[in-house]
Chains A and B, each alone.
Chain A
Amino acid sequence: MPTSSISNTVKDGNGVAVPGVLVMVDLVPGPTFRITDGSEIAAIAPLVTDINGLWAAILEESSNLDPPGSYYRVREYLQKTDGGIKTYFFQVPAVDGLLHSNLVVPTVANSLFRPTIVTSGTHPASPFPGQMIFETDTGKVLFYYGTTLGWLPDWGVAWGEIAQTAVTSNQTTTGAVYVDAATASFTAIAGRRYLTHVEGQATLTGGATTPAVGYAITDGANAVLVEYKADLAQASFQLHAPMLHHGTGLETGAVSRKVRIKMATGTGTGGYLGSATGPLLLKIEDNGPAVAPVIT
């Protein structure tokens, strides 16, 4: 394998060589392979300067690094009193040499990655799966998941709230069949886990004949996903009546979630209260991946 030695004498702020300094060398932007045989280059063991402040490392020549353009970084861990940590970037030529003779100006400074800088309207024309971009108009870091899914945030984490409805007027019914009280819609992505939260103050007035109010979370076609009832054996009540629904991970495309209410038993006027300071809340949250994405 083509290798050369790179060396440097570490000195403090007064120009005095410093022995016993820890020296770490690694590759930027990350691990590399050898072009000649495809083997991976092993991590470089830490070095320590000798009695003369000298360190030397035998390293793969830069011309044999894959990906091309990779280069080396060295950090000399001087004590603060001796000037603190020094970091240099360098290449390894075909002959042995000094660090000073082989310095390069890093294109990515001390960071590992610089995402492609775009806007939401100017995505890369020929992306590849795993490509990372930063949108300056939205502030989002996105990854390319192929032609079907396109550009999305990291699949492995929760994306948070994606839809919310706050109903600020009372939603009540006297009927025994469910009616709408709140609706929220979103675009679902297959394989994501969606949670639906409902927060509201249940109400019943004028109840008779064992009155109970029914509450449900349904889909957009009114199919019941979960349902509960509030029954205090009283003609009227107000109480906290929250609900949860755990998505299947199979939802895709345009999806709606509804809060629906009915008189489950008996008679009366039941439902949810709603006001500016006490709304009926219907909230949809992306809670992370249910399964791996289908990358096309």
Chain B
Amino acid sequence: MLETVAAIGIMATAVAIGAQAAQMTAQQRRSEHERAVALQEAANAMERLSAAQWDEITQTHLAEMRLSDEAAALLPESSLAATVVDGRDGELATKRLAVTVAWRAGGAQRKIALTHWRFQNKEQP
């Protein structure tokens, strides 16, 4: 009787540990996928900003930027925020662009931020 109880106890422990490990792996995988999608979204936003005309890059224009439908569906409670700070580097006007994608994962708030500088080119828009 004692041996049977001990065997069942060991088996239950092994099953619990295995199930927990599998759950952690799945969560880790989901988290990695979400992070990769968030990074692509931030990079896409930055590409759009790098292609935009110099005069179009204003805080008003940036406030209209949104996540794609695919990313919004995948990332829970997600949002995209973009900011621009005007500056100067000697003779050149500069814009410091920052894009942040935030989402909730595993009860914690996660975010990815990219920063990019644009320098005014008089010849090209």
A binds B: no
Give the A-binding residues of B (Cβ under 8 A).
Answer: none
